[in-house]
Amino acid sequence: MNDTFTAYDPATLPAPVVAYLDAHDEKRYADVAALFAPGATVLDDGKTYKGIEAIRAWSEKSSAEYTYTSTRIGQRTADGSRVTVRVRLDGNFPGGTVVLRYRFTLRAGLIGDLAIEV
């Protein structure tokens, strides 16, 4: 597995990826959900959320659970449809700091799958 990341540069990423990160940070849950393809899945914290409504509910819950700031620190693109963005979270959750990988798979200009992992 390639573990090389370049500095975060939104100008070089697909628009749905940047739009998702912005909408999630700004707690615009309807906008988050609208970026996903029908039948899309999100894998986060060992749980899978499938479909637009489940993803919207997950987005609201995950953002409300803790207070945190996020800093986008790196990225890599495997091809035009697979993108990973590294995001550092600092907040009031156990441990206080974590670097997560947001692995996006795009389908037809929308997010088909998103896996969030350490």
Please give, one letter per residue, the 3-state secondary structure of the chain.
CCCCCECCCHHHCCHHHHHHHHHHHCCCHHHHHHCEEEEEEEEECCEEEECHHHHHHHHHHHHHCCCEEEEEEEEEEEECCEEEEEEEEEECCCCCEEEEEEEEEEECCEEEEEEEEC
- pLDDT per residue as tens digits for the range 54-101: 999 999 998 888 899 999 999 999 888 999 999 999 999 999 999 999
pLDDT above 60 for 1? no
The predicted model gives 38-42 an average pLDDT of 97
- In this prediction, residue 64 carries a pLDDT of 83
Question: What CATH number was assigned to the domain covering residues 10-117?
Answer: 3.10.450.50
Residues of the chain above pLDDT 90, percent: 90
